[in-house]
């Protein structure tokens, strides 16, 4: 993928000149970077990569606070600076006097330049741009649920809440496009909505828990309605019961490629992750709502797979291996199902 950029006029110069502005193709967080490390290095589980990334952040923080510089050779250096001015040499330091600088190495910049390619994209019409959407209580990306804050970040997001055409909308797989009325933050770069989801899928009595997220806004009183959609489909809480054991249902399908076969533990909310490596290997793993995933189980065909990571094991039956591959790939090889598990009979 190339570096996308836009060309915009700079009217402050005479004669007018033009500037180039990079446009991010995607925004990667810990989960996304860990998934990419796993794709390039299949022997490194994504969960392990994420743990190392988070540990690196913690270690850099501790070393900087101890007055040290962290120099990752041929990559980046982290240094503490102190941009303060004192009226007298004996004056005490003000509160929070330090700043942190991250300086990429010349070698790293040269390496990026050597492999970079470029694509000019047209300057877009002003419209909502959604860069991220996550459940603010659990921090889980791409997840929304009734009664909990969904935080949306991007640009040009602010809307007129009194205009019913504008706002945050969630489209369920059942085809119901629901305007969200409970908004706790309405800023140009951040929105927080308390979702009210289509009752056909929350709790999960229908086939799919997918939600399509859009923001619609007008930027002048008489302007046209502009719409921006999130590039990923959100997934609502999948309530697993004796009458609903389906996992990874996508689109308008009536059943999924996998089901929960057995679980004898106490009721618990958890995450079941299906992901594909760059070589096409499919793995399943499970974790509590917050915490590390258990051992990854490689899925090679239809059958039962015992997942460890909760107080009690969960047996997942894969009944449509090809369908599971298709579902995972439709989510960029990283499909996470957030479930409410109760003991099954």
Average pLDDT over residues 319-328: 95
Residues composing the chain: 345
Residues 146-190: pLDDT tens digits?
Answer: 999 999 999 999 999 999 999 999 998 888 899 999 999 999 999
Omega before 15 cis (within 30°)? yes
Whether the Cβ atoms of residue 228 and residue 193 lie closer than 8 Å to each other: no
DSSP state, residue 278: T
Whether the Cβ atoms of residue 266 and residue 286 lie closer than 8 Å to each other: no
Which among 71, 74, 28, 20 has a CA at the least distance from the CA of 53?
28
Q: Is the pLDDT of residue 54 over 50?
A: yes
Average pLDDT over residues 69-80: 97
What is the distance between the alpha carbons of residues 203 and 148, in angstroms, rounded to a whole number? Answer: 14
What is the distance between the alpha carbons of residues 98 and 81, in angstroms, rounded to a whole number? Answer: 6
Q: Provide the mean pLDDT of the chain.
A: 92
Where residue 90 falls (left for φ over 0; alpha for ψ -120 to 50; beta otherwise) is alpha
Q: What are phi and psi of 63, to 5 degrees?
A: -70, -40
Three-class secondary structure of residue 121 per DSSP: coil
pLDDT bin (cut points 50, 70, 90) of residue 205 is low
pLDDT > 70: what percent of the chain?
98
Segment among 14-23, 41-50, 67-76, 269-278 with least mean pLDDT: 14-23
Domains defined for the chain, CATH in brackets:
3-83+94-120 (4.10.520.10), 129-236 (2.70.50.70), 238-341 (no CATH)
pLDDT bin (cut points 50, 70, 90) of residue 221 is confident
What is the distance between the alpha carbons of residues 149 and 182, in angstroms, rounded to a whole number? Answer: 10
pLDDT bin (cut points 50, 70, 90) of residue 204 is very low
pTM for this prediction: 0.68
Whether the Cβ atoms of residue 336 and residue 42 lie closer than 8 Å to each other: no
Q: Which residues pair with 251 in a beta bridge?
A: none
Q: Is the pLDDT of residue 200 over 80?
A: no
Whether the Cβ atoms of residue 268 and residue 341 lie closer than 8 Å to each other: yes
């Amino acid at each position: 993928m190339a570096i996308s950029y836009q060309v915009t006029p700079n009217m402050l110069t005479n004669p007018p000149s033009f500037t180039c502005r990079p446009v991010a193709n995607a925004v990667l967080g810990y989960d996304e970077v860990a998934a990419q490390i796993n794709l390039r290095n299949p022997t490194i589980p994504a969960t392990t990569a994420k743990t190392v990334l988070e540990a690196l952040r913690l270690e850099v923080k501790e070393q900087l606070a101890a007055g040290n510089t962290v120099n990752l050779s041929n990559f980046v250096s982290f240094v503490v600076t102190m941009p303060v001015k004192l009226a007298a040499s004996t004056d005490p330091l003000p509160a929070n006097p330090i700043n942190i600088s991250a300086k990429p190495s010349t070698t790293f910049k040269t390496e990026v330049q050597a492999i970079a390619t470029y694509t000019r994209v047209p300057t877009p019409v002003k419209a909502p741009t959604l860069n991220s959407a996550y459940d603010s209580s659990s921090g889980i990306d791409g997840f929304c649920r009734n009664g909990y804050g969904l935080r949306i970040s991007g640009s040009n997001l602010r809307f007129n809440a009194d205009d019913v055409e504008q706002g945050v909308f969630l489209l369920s797989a059942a085809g119901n496009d629901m305007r969200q009325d409970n908004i706790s933050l309405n800023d140009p770069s951040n929105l927080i909505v308390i979702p009210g989801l289509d009752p056909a899928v929350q709790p999960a009595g229908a086939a799919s828990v997918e939600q399509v997220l859009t923001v619609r806004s007008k930027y002048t009183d008489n302007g046209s309605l502009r719409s921006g959609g999130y590039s990923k489909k959100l997934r609502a809480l999948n309530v697993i019961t004796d009458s609903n054991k389906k996992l990874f249902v996508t689109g308008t399908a009536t059943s999924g490629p996998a089901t929960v076969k057995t679980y004898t533990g106490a009721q618990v909310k958890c995450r079941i992750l299906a992901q594909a490596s760059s070589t096409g290997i499919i793995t399943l793993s499970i974790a509590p709502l917050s915490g590390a995933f258990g051992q990854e189980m490689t899925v090679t065909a239809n059958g039962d797979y015992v997942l460890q990571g909760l107080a009690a094991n969960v047996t997942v039956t894969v009944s449509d291996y090809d369908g599971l591959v298709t579902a995972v790939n439709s989510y960029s090889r990283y499909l996470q199902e957030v479930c409410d598990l109760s003991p099954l009979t």
